């Protein structure tokens, strides 16, 4: 199946990583990306579209062999359903299954039906007794989750009871209901599982760094850096995760009329007894987890993603590099708050086989590379040891010039 053409939907660091992986695939001919960024423009044809209707039209016009969905929003908006109606395979689930990310309550219900371990919770609405719910989880931080797609801003974890109560009340006012979840102590890991009607493939587990500053302080972000493999994901944890979480979820999701086809992101909390619990499901690759997971796949990425879009995953023999990968995100001034766009970016280092710069929020304006988002670049390296990968990734990020930008200096600290 040489020379397939593919449309990658999205325009962040994740999508640049996907395009780079596809560009290395012998099975792939043309790569299109919508909307893409300055990095994808170097290896793909960018198209300035983001709306589902425009993406469907584009896929049809380009006559692509398949579509790879980066972000969740188009999937929740029915991208895979509409492509399916036109017999264009989509890597990414139909809207009814994308609700696993679109509604936290729905995800909780699916987990309950399938005995998947997760935190206890209350659903609170305008007539609920908020104080007795807060009392029931007293003595540890309160975890409040909005039941809508909130672009990473829908969760508050706080020791401050009045802050928790305020967020609950604000969320009920705007969304009608909200989840109050029991706090799970432990260490987090991100598990990406390729899945279709025929089977599943677990990719190497990684660890993201969600807070803005070193030592996991400051505001929550989309992710300031990541590395893989994560040592917390031991063989014991792996076995338990597959048996208690991945197998039951695959059984439930593959028995649907249209099975889950794509990647299921399992956000794990691993407690002191090495027992894994689900913190969240996403229906897409993580960003920046994608940037460090894709390079660890030794097999042809194009063939693998096409297989998952067409229920042929079980026929794939997937191999991985026995290496470590690490990425450091360079963020714009004031990210994760509002940021200025259009600032010039200089001294971006050249790529090698071991280290390269993933573009996220970038574009080219009058021949000059400029910033175009909160997370601007992610500097990625792969090496035999995590320490070497960190050295190489930091050697890249330290030279880049972007006024006001910042990055965390402790990516990978738990494993180093
Ligand atoms: P989510 O968007 O559901 O992944 O939540 C964002 C972050 O909040 C997670 O990455 C965790 O760090 C934290 N978090 C969410 N739920 C819990 C929980 N039940 N216990 C502890 N921390 C949590
Ligand atoms: N890095 C976390 C996420 O993509 O949701």
Q: pLDDT digit string (tens) for 12-71?
A: 999 999 999 999 999 999 999 999 999 999 999 999 999 999 999 999 999 999 999 999
User: Which ligand 2 atom is the nearest neighbour of the CA of 284?
Assistant: 4
Between the CA of 309 and the centroid of ligand 1 the distance, in Å, is 29
User: Which ligand 1 atom is the nearest neighbour of the CA of 183?
Assistant: 20
Q: Whose alpha carbon is nearest atom 1 of ligand 1?
A: 280
Contact 101, 72 (CB under 8 A): yes
pLDDT digits (tens, 9 = 90+) for 279-292: 999 999 999 999 99
The partner residues of 270 in beta bridges, in order of sequence, read 187, 276
Contact 268, 88 (CB under 8 A): no
- Neighbouring C-beta atoms of residue 317, cutoff 10 Å: 6
Given this model, what pLDDT does residue 34 score? 98
When pLDDT is averaged across residues 189-211 and rounded to a whole number, the result is 97
Between the CA of 220 and the centroid of ligand 2 the distance, in Å, is 11
Looking at all shown ligands, the one closest to residue 154's CA atom is 1
What's the whole-number average pLDDT of the chain?
97
Q: Above 70 in pLDDT, residue 315?
A: yes
Contacts of 409 (CB under 8 A, 6+ apart): 214, 394
* Sheet strands (E) in 196-347: 200-202, 207-208, 211-213, 217-220, 225-228, 262-270, 276-282, 324-331
Given this model, what pLDDT does residue 150 score? 79
3-class DSSP state of 41: helix
pTM more than 0.95 = yes
In testing the pocket of ligand 2, which one of 70, 151, 152, 335 has its CB within 8 Å of the most ligand atoms? 152
Same topology, domains 4-95 and 120-181? Answer is no
Q: Above 90 in pLDDT, residue 1?
A: no
Contact 7, 34 (CB under 8 A): yes
Contacts of 190 (CB under 8 A, 6+ apart): 205, 206, 207, 208, 226, 230, 265, 266, 267, 268, 286, 289
Q: How confident is the model at residue 2 (pLDDT cuts 50, 70, 90)?
A: low
User: Which ligand 1 atom is the nearest neighbour of the CA of 184?
Assistant: 20
Given this model, what pLDDT does residue 104 score? 94
Contact 345, 377 (CB under 8 A): yes
pLDDT digits (tens, 9 = 90+) for 330-369: 999 999 999 999 999 999 999 999 999 999 999 999 999 9
User: Which ligand 1 atom is the nearest neighbour of the CA of 104?
Assistant: 3
- Neighbouring C-beta atoms of residue 24, cutoff 10 Å: 15
Cβ of residue 13 lying under 6 Å from some atom of ligand 2: no
Q: Whose alpha carbon is nearest atom 15 of ligand 1?
A: 279
Between the CA of 225 and the centroid of ligand 2 the distance, in Å, is 10
Q: Above 90 in pLDDT, residue 151?
A: no
Between the CA of 279 and the centroid of ligand 1 the distance, in Å, is 6
pLDDT digits (tens, 9 = 90+) for 201-249: 999 999 999 999 999 999 889 999 999 999 999 999 999 999 999 999 9
Q: Whose alpha carbon is nearest atom 3 of ligand 1?
A: 280
120-181 folds as Dna Ligase; domain 1 (3.30.1490)
Given this model, what pLDDT does residue 416 score? 87
CA-based nearest residue to 334, from 157, 225, 212? 212
CATH entry 3.40.50.20 includes domain 4-95: yes
Q: How confident is the model at residue 414 (pLDDT cuts 50, 70, 90)?
A: confident
Q: How confident is the model at residue 153 (pLDDT cuts 50, 70, 90)?
A: confident
Between the CA of 143 and the centroid of ligand 2 the distance, in Å, is 18
Radius of gyration for the alpha carbons in the chain, expressed in angstroms and rounded: 21
Q: Per residue, what are the HEC states of 355-409?
A: EEEEECCEEEECCEEEECCCEEEEEEEEECCHHHHHHHHHHHHCCCECCCCECCC
Q: How confident is the model at residue 149 (pLDDT cuts 50, 70, 90)?
A: confident
Between the CA of 128 and the centroid of ligand 2 the distance, in Å, is 31
Q: Report the percent of the chain where pLDDT is more than 70.
A: 99
The structural domains of the chain, with segments of one domain joined by +, span 4-95, 120-181
pLDDT digits (tens, 9 = 90+) for 354-413: 999 999 999 999 999 999 999 999 999 999 999 999 999 999 999 999 999 999 999 999
When pLDDT is averaged across residues 113-133 and rounded to a whole number, the result is 97
């Amino acid at each position: 199946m040489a020379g397939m053409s593919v449309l990658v939907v999205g325009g962040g660091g994740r999508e640049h990583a996907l395009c780079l992986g596809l560009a290395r695939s012998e099975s792939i001919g043309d790569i299109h990306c919508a909307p893409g960024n300055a990095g994808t423009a170097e290896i793909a044809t960018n198209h300035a579209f983001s709306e589902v209707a425009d993406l469907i039209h584009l896929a049809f016009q380009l006559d692509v062999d398949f579509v790879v969905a980066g972000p969740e929003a188009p999937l929740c908006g029915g991208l895979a359903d509409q492509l399916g109606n036109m017999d264009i395979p989509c890597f990414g689930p139909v809207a009814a299954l994308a609700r696993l990310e679109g509604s936290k309550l729905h995800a909780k219900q699916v987990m309950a039906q399938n005995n998947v371990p997760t935190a206890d919770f209350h659903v609170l609405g305008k007539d609920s007794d908020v104080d007795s719910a807060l009392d029931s989880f007293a003595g540890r931080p309160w975890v409040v989750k909005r039941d809508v797609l909130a672009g990473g801003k829908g969760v508050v974890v706080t020791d401050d009871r009045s802050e928790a109560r305020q967020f609950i009340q604000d969320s009920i006012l705007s969304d009608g209901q909200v989840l109050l979840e029991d706090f799970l102590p432990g260490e987090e890991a991100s598990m990406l599982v390729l899945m279709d009607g025929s089977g599943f493939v677990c990719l190497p587990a990684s660890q993201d760094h969600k807070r803005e500053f070193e030592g996991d302080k400051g505001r929550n972000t989309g992710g300031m850096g990541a590395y893989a493999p994560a040592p917390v994901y031991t063989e014991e944890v792996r076995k338990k995760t597959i048996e208690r979480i991945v197998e039951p979820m695959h059984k439930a999701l593959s028995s649907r009329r249209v099975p889950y086809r794509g990647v299921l992101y399992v956000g794990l909390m691993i407690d002191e007894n090495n027992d894994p619990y689900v913190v969240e499901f996403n229906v897409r690759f993580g960003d920046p987890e994608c940037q460090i997971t894709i390079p660890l796949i030794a097999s042809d990425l194009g063939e693998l993603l096409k297989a998952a879009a067409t229920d042929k995953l079980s026929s794939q023999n997937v191999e991985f590099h026995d290496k470590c990968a690490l990425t450091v995100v360079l963020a714009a001034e004031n990210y994760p708050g509002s940021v200025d766009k259009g600032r010039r970016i200089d001294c971006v280092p050249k790529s090698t086989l071991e280290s390269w710069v993933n573009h996220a929020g970038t574009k080219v304006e009058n021949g000059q590379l400029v910033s175009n988002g909160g997370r601007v670049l992610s500097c990625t390296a792969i090496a035999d040891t995590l320490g070497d990968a960190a050295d190489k990734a930091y050697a890249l990020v330290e030279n880049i010039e972007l006024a006001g930008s910042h990055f965390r200096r402790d990516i990978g600290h738990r494993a180093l």
